[in-house]
């Protein structure tokens, strides 16, 4: 069974602000960079230490060869003994010695080995070396042995050897690396801290214009079309701010056109509507001759709809209410049976023309309701208009209402094509 936790985590991340995301991503990038550089420095330091120890060993054996040549030339072994005494103080040094061509030890950092003939594998290979020979093996410890022949002119005088304990060298390398790790870690923390500060600064730099755009869009959405963003940069964000200001100016222009259009249309509608109401009232007073009951019923419907249209025009003229998004309702106690009767009279001609059966199934016992009669009539008119529009001939349109759990449900049904789910 799949766990829902990942999706919950993803939904949580969606609500993180852009500024936070920039800081987190930039900090992670800095962290990866600092870690990469730190590891590279550590490996480079380790390689350098190993190479430095190797070079020190080679320098010591070369110096030992040179000192032996000088002592032979001066016929003074004291110079060689002094240098061996100096080498004895070297860290990780196991031994340093001079052997003659037969393998006998002429000088050694440990005097107990002097005049001994060494026959171990390391010594035998060292005696036969023709150049710098680096080998590993065991004497009294696991050592790295460096041997270099001592040649003066064309004569081979012997071989110089130095041996270093591998265990001691590893300890020295580890000690040096520990100090290097401390320095690298300190530098990494400083770099990471600096990187986080830079990341926060960059996030503020990049998100501030975006926040201004967001606030501007909110103000435009609230109807403040006079709002403009002050442009301080010429980059892509500055171009976006410029386009935003152009959009706001166009919206302001369209809003003014809308107000002018509404004002002109409502003004032009009032005059013919006033004339229409006057003639309807004249006909109802039988000023143009007697009328029958059916004609009177039709004229009353025309009069009521003209009054409702007049109120609608008055609302259009109240531009401040439209801009504020306030829809004023005037609830009153009404009977749905009376509204249904008016709808039946209004849509009777359309039903007869399209040959559609229009029925009202609102029970006489349904209690009165509190509602805005004009707004409710607008809703019913729109629904019934659509029902008649999409119902084919010989079809049926039904207006019904019923009371359920203290509420009254009004329903418009038809046998037309229907509305997609």
Give, for all 421 residues of the chain, the pLDDT tens digit: 444 444 444 444 455 676 777 777 777 888 888 888 888 888 888 888 888 888 888 888 899 889 888 888 888 888 888 888 888 888 888 889 999 888 898 888 888 888 999 888 888 888 888 899 999 887 666 889 999 999 888 888 899 999 888 888 888 888 888 888 888 888 888 888 888 888 777 777 777 777 777 777 777 777 677 777 776 767 776 777 777 778 877 877 887 777 777 667 766 776 677 777 777 777 877 777 888 888 888 888 887 787 777 777 766 665 555 555 556 778 888 888 888 888 888 888 888 888 989 888 888 888 888 888 878 888 888 888 888 888 999 999 999 998 888 888 999 999 988 877 7
Q: What CA dihedral angle connects 170, 173, 177 and 180, to 10 degrees? A: 170
pLDDT for 140: 63
DSSP letter string, 268-304: HHHHHHHHHHHHHHHHHTTTTS---HHHHHHHHHHHH
pLDDT for 231: 67
pLDDT for 250: 82
pLDDT for 316: 63
pLDDT for 271: 67
Q: Kind of pairing, strands 105-108 and 369-371?
A: unpaired
Backbone angles phi, psi at 104, to 5 degrees: -80, 140
DSSP letter string, 36-85: HHHHHHHHHHHHHHHHHHHHHHHHHHHHHHHHHHHHHHHT-THHHHHHHH
Question: For the whole prediction, is pTM greater than 0.85?
Answer: no
Among the four given CATH numbers 3.40.50.720, 3.30.420.130, 3.40.640.10, 3.30.450.20, the one describing domain 16-206: 3.30.450.20
Non-local (6+) Cβ contacts of 135 within 8 A are 122, 125, 126, 144, 145, 147
The secondary structure element, H or E, covering residue 108 is strand 105-108
Distance CA 142, CA 306 (A): 113
Among the four given CATH numbers 3.40.50.300, 3.20.20.70, 3.60.110.10, 3.30.565.10, the one describing domain 329-421: 3.30.565.10
For the chain, the structural domain boundaries read: 16-206, 329-421
């Amino acid at each position: 069974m799949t766990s829902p936790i990942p999706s919950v985590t993803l939904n949580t991340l969606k609500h993180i602000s852009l500024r936070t995301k920039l800081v987190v991503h930039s900090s992670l990038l800095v962290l990866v960079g600092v870690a990469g550089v730190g590891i590279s420095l550590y490996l480079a330091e380790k390689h350098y230490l190993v190479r430095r120890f190797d070079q020190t060993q080679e320098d010591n054996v070369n110096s030992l060869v040179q000192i032996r040549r000088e002592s032979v030339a001066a016929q003074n072994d004291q110079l060689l003994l002094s240098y061996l005494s100096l080498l004895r103080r070297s860290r990780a040094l196991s031994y340093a010695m001079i052997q003659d061509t037969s393998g006998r030890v002429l000088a050694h950092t440990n005097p107990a080995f002097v005049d001994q003939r060494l026959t171990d594998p390391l010594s035998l290979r060292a005696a036969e070396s023709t150049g710098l020979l680096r080998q590993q093996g065991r004497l009294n410890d696991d050592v790295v042995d460096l041997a270099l022949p001592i040649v003066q002119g064309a004569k081979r005088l012997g071989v110089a050897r130095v041996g270093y304990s591998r265990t001691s060298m590893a300890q020295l390398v580890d000690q040096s690396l520990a100090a290097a790790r401390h320095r690298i870690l300190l530098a990494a923390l400083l770099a990471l801290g600096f990187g986080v500060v830079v990341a926060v600064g960059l996030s503020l730099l990049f998100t501030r214009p975006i926040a201004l755009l967001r606030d501007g869009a909110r103000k435009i959405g609230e109807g403040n079309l006079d709002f403009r963003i002050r442009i301080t940069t010429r980059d892509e964000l500055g171009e976006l701010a410029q386009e935003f200001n152009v959009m706001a100016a166009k919206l302001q222009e369209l809003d003014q056109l809308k107000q002018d259009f509404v004002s002109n249309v409502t003004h032009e509608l009032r005059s013919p509507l006033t004339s229409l109401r006057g003639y309807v009232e004249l006909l109802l007073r039988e000023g143009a001759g007697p009328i029958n009951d059916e004609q009177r019923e039709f004229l009353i419907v025309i009069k009521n709809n003209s009054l409702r249209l007049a109120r609608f025009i008055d609302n259009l003229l109240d531009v401040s209410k439209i801009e504020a998004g306030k829809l004023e309702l005037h609830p009153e106690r009404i009977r749905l049976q009376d509204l249904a009767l008016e709808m039946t009279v209004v849509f009777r001609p359309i039903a007869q023309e399209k040959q559609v059966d229009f029925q009202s199934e609102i029970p006489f016992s349904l209690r009165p309701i509190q509602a805005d009669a004009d707004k409710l009539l607008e809703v019913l008119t729109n629904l019934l208009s659509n029902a008649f529009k999409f119902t084919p001939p010989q079809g049926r349109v039904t207006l019904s209402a019923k009371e359920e759990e203290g509420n009254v449900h009004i329903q418009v049904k038809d046998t037309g094509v229907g509305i997609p789910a």
